[in-house]
Amino acid sequence: MAAVRTGLLAAVATWAIVVLPALVGWIAAPESSLGWFTAVSVGSALWFVGHGQTVVGDGVAVSVTPVLLLLLDVYVTARFARRLFATQREVLPASRVDRTLARVLVPGFVGGYVVAAAVIAVLALGGPVGPGLLAVAGAALVPLAAVGALLLRPDDDDAPGFVRAWFRRGPTWLPAVWRIGWRGAGVLLLLGAAVVVARVVLTVGSVVSMQADYRVNLVGAAVLVAGQLLMLGNAATWALGFVAGPGFSLAAGSVVSPVAADPGLNPAVPLLAALPEQAAYPPLLLAVVLLPVLVGALLGRWVDAALEFFGNTRARFAAVATAAALAVVVVLALTALANGALGVERLAAVGVPLAPFVPALLAEVVGGACLWVGLALLRERRAERDAAAATDGRGDADDDDDADDDVDGADDDRDD
């Protein structure tokens, strides 16, 4: 029961993250004719959207997951799960911890979370949009991700024994590569976020002007800004689509890529004022695809610094390629959640086209990591040749000195 109760509390905590701002926004707009329960219902629907689920109402579907909200929910849920697991480890015999964790604690925690999701779904039905039955079960994405983040750690003493055993059955370099791959995913997302921030800074006048057009009070403006900040993670994945080459679209028929920009007609969201105007770009801008290559090279450097392969070139390439591929897979999973629908017709498909994006980003990051290893091998072999040449040179010089000494000795003998 402790696991179920903790799962319920975790769901309530993540629900409060979106419902409280919704209520604040309702209080800040006294002229609104909507009641407080509608604000709760809208916040409850947003809770499902933040869990990677689709909500529908009046023929309008919303399936774009706010990535930062999703990650925040996973973090909060992981804190509850960590406390649950730590408490149970203190009272259970060591021989029963792994079995209880796998058969009782994790299922109970996830089950309690899903039960809370069912209650939240009922609350969402009072608003303009609501989740379906599949969304209730799909909300388990967050507790499963939180539990996975806690338990899938190869070197953590708190990880179950079967997890550590699984990592030990793989290559010796797998634990280090696992950590580096997740770190690389963070670097890729930071790269996308940096591109977004740079673009917003360059167009801050247009963004502020559109924000002012809403004519809301200070609290309403704060809620509006917070809502846009939650979409920064989505914008980061879309920016990665740009730097990888395929680009992204925010409306049907639109595209923003290093080749050209045609943003089309978009909603009046201040952040979208940072989108470029319609234009064709010079071929030189395609150099942005080198940025993911550099991230791959950075991952290769980290793997080389963390591990010693003792001349095993095949294992070295396999390790850096695995780290790079893991980073790309994590980013692609978040990108798939960041894509989706924000409405109908023009807004029915928002985000990065995955079909060209997957091979492009994978080739660039893995290629950069392997390129780093190739250059490192060339440097190492050149250093070995230089060292061997220097050794041979010293050996020849020593032989010449010995020969001169022998000649001098023979001359001395003749003089005697």
pLDDT by residue (tens digit) across 20-78? 988 887 776 665 656 778 889 989 999 999 999 999 887 788 899 999 999 999 999 99
Q: Which residues contact 325 (CB under 8 A, 6 or more apart)?
A: 181, 362, 365, 366
Q: How confident is the model at residue 416 (pLDDT cuts 50, 70, 90)?
A: very low
Share of the chain above pLDDT 90, in %: 57
How would you classify residue 245: left for phi > 0, otherwise alpha for psi between -120 and 50, otherwise beta?
left
410 pLDDT higher than 70? no
pLDDT, mean of residues 268-290: 90
Q: Which residues contact 260 (CB under 8 A, 6 or more apart)?
A: 279, 280, 281
pLDDT, mean of residues 293-305: 96
Q: Which long-range contacts (CB under 8 A, 24 or more apart) does 157-160 make?
A: 158/85, 158/86, 158/89, 160/97, 160/98, 160/101, 160/102
Tell me which of 38-47, 109-118, 288-297 is least confident: 38-47
For every residue of 366-398, which 3-state class applies, written as one string? HHHHHHHHHHHHHHHHHHHHHHHHHHHHHHHHH
- The pLDDT assigned to 399 comes to 55
The amino acid present at 293, given as its one-letter code, is V
405 pLDDT higher than 60? no
What the block records as the tokens of 325 is: 């591929």
307-363 pLDDT, tens digit per residue, is 999 889 999 999 999 999 999 999 999 999 999 988 767 777 889 999 999 999 999
Q: How confident is the model at residue 90 (pLDDT cuts 50, 70, 90)?
A: confident
Distance CA(17)–CA(287), nearest Å, equals 41
pLDDT, mean of residues 105-109: 94
Distance CA(205)–CA(199), nearest Å, equals 11
240 pLDDT higher than 60? yes
368 contacts 323 by C-beta, under 8 angstroms: no
Distance CA(40)–CA(54), nearest Å, equals 18
286 pLDDT higher than 50? yes
340-356 pLDDT, tens digit per residue, is 988 767 777 889 999 99
For every residue of 175-244, which 3-state class applies, written as one string? HHHHHHHHHHHHHHHHHHHHHHHHHHHHCHHHHHHHHHCCCCCHHHHHHHHHHHHHCHHHHHHHHHHHHH
245 contacts 259 by C-beta, under 8 angstroms: no
Distance CA(69)–CA(105), nearest Å, equals 25
Tell me which of 2-6, 193-197, 292-296, 406-410 is least confident: 406-410
Tell me which of 164-178, 252-266, 392-406 is least confident: 392-406
Report the DSSP beta bridge partners of residue 249: 351
Q: How confident is the model at residue 394 (pLDDT cuts 50, 70, 90)?
A: low
203-215 pLDDT, tens digit per residue, is 989 888 888 877 7
Distance CA(408)–CA(416), nearest Å, equals 13
| Mean pLDDT, all residues of the chain | 88
Q: How many CB atoms lie within 10 A of CB 220?
A: 16
Give the angle 100-104-108 at the CA atoms, nearest 5°.
150
- The pLDDT assigned to 34 comes to 65
What the block records as the tokens of 122 is: 């009922």
179 pLDDT higher than 70? yes
The amino acid present at 103, given as its one-letter code, is R
Tell me which of 83-92, 332-341, 361-370, 406-415 is least confident: 406-415
Distance CA(333)–CA(255), nearest Å, equals 21
SS3 assignment, position 281: coil
Q: What is the residue whose two structure tokens read 């850096």?
A: 320
Q: How confident is the model at residue 414 (pLDDT cuts 50, 70, 90)?
A: very low
Helix (H) or strand (E) holding 130: strand 130-131
Residue burial 362-395, b: 16+ Cβ < 10 Å; e: rest: bbbbbbbbbbbbeebeeeeeeeeeeeeeeeeeee
Q: How confident is the model at residue 252 (pLDDT cuts 50, 70, 90)?
A: confident
Domain boundaries, the chain: 1-169, 171-380
pLDDT, mean of residues 104-123: 95
Confidence (pTM): 0.89
Distance CA(20)–CA(40), nearest Å, equals 8
Q: How confident is the model at residue 407 (pLDDT cuts 50, 70, 90)?
A: very low
CA distances from 41 to 34, 72, 264, 276, 312 (A): 11, 20, 32, 36, 59
Q: Give 350 or 182, the one with higher predicted confidence.
A: 182
Residue burial 27-48, b: 16+ Cβ < 10 Å; e: rest: ebbeeeeeeeebbbbbbbbbbb
